[in-house]
Amino acid sequence: MQTIIKLTLAAAVILTSCSGVASKKENNVTVPEEPTVKFNADSAYSFIKKQVDFGPRVPGSDSHARCADYLIDELKRHGIDTVYTQTGQMTAFNGDILPIKNIIGSINPEKNERVLIAAHYDTRPWADNESDEEKSRQPIDGANDGASGAGVILELARILAVNRPEIGVDFLLVDAEDYGNSSGVGSHEDSWCLGTQYWCKNDIYTSQNRPKYGIVLDMVGGRDARFHREYYSVRNAAKTVDKVWGAAARAGFSSYFPNQIGGALIDDHLFISRNGIPCIDIVECNNARTGSFPATWHTHQDNMSNIDTAPLRAVGQTVLNVLLSEKGDK
């Protein structure tokens, strides 16, 4: 996860009614009904731990290669219809040549009505926010910033392979997201999200089956996590933001999805939107304690001890509800 641009916006955002879990009235109070298909946060947690157990997943490392193989095998094991990899090379801001391996798994690949769910699985090569100079040069575990979004995707894939949505769903696990320049000098926007930039340059869609929107999952498992409406998500895909935050509210997760604008982030969703798929970012970008990213961000505290199943459940169930509520090809 990359640089955050702090913004102050006075205007409030109003939740709109959109598809999701049904609700009912009890004593004149609206309460969400239990979803018919439940997201298993403990399972998502285990998928995160498995990734972290490989070690830091820095592009080009052995632990990264073994994790990529694991993700591919898990998608296939869960019964995803098609699973394939997209390989290539990208040059990092410091001149490093990075091998790119993006992983794509599709449910109902024959359907033209599609939604894209994306997350990165690589980890930061350096712990920029460590005060100790020696520690700052070491790669991080990336339990939250790297493994959490991929873990939620694996659990969504497991569920949706059995509980088929009416639409097609594409899961995109992108590489080399977190190899960017965080020096703060000049504009380094294109130094981030290298795997997604490669994916955009090698587009796989036709005009008929292009996803109608995308959702990026990044840093979705941290303790005390809150997922504000990220600025570029609102600017580029306001209807999808309303859809997702409305579904979260109806499912009882308003405390995790506050109806407030967060920061403006350079993240995978920005490049996906520029490539013609309106995309939002579910990301912890305005933590109640720190005011921006979580305190573990780009430190060695980004480990399994700081992963919580509660936000995983809130994010996973919300996205699952949205996908299962979508209508198929007309």
Q: The domain spanning residue 66 has which CATH number?
A: 3.40.630.10
Residue 91 lies in a domain: yes
Question: Does the structure show a pLDDT above 60 at 238?
Answer: yes
Residue 256 lies in a domain: no
Confidence of residue 4 (pLDDT cuts 50, 70, 90): low
pLDDT band at 271 (very low <50, low <70, confident <90, very high): very high
Whole-model pTM over 0.85: yes
The pLDDT, as a whole number, for residue 288 is 52
On whether residue 265 sits in a domain, the answer given is no
Give residue 69's pLDDT.
98
Q: Is there a domain that residue 19 lies in?
A: no
Q: pLDDT tens digits, residue range 123-148?
A: 999 999 999 999 999 999 999 999 99
Distance, in Å, from the CA atom of 130 to the CA atom of 137, rounded to the nearest integer, reads 9
Is the pLDDT at 187 greater than 80, yes or no? Answer: no
Residue 153 is assigned to a structural domain of this protein: yes
261 is a domain residue: no
- Report the number of distinct structural domains present in the chain: 1
- Domain carrying residue 51: 34-223+288-325
Query: pLDDT tens digits, residue range 148-166?
Result: 999 999 999 999 999 999 9
CB atoms within 10 A of CB 281: 30
Eight-state DSSP code of residue 221: -
Specify the pairing of strand 264-265 against strand 4-5: antiparallel
Distance in Å from the first CA to the final CA of the chain: 37
| DSSP labels, 164-185 | --SSEEEEEEES--S----S-S
Pairing of strands 264-265, 279-283: unpaired
Residue 251 burial by Cβ neighbours in a 10 Å radius (0-12, 13-18, 19+): buried
**CA gap 165, 323 in Å, rounded:** 7
Residues contacting 245, CB < 8 A, separation 6+: 15, 229, 257, 259
In a domain, 217, yes or no: yes
Residue 328 pLDDT class (50, 70, 90 cuts): confident
pLDDT, position 287: 55
Is residue 100 in some structural domain? yes
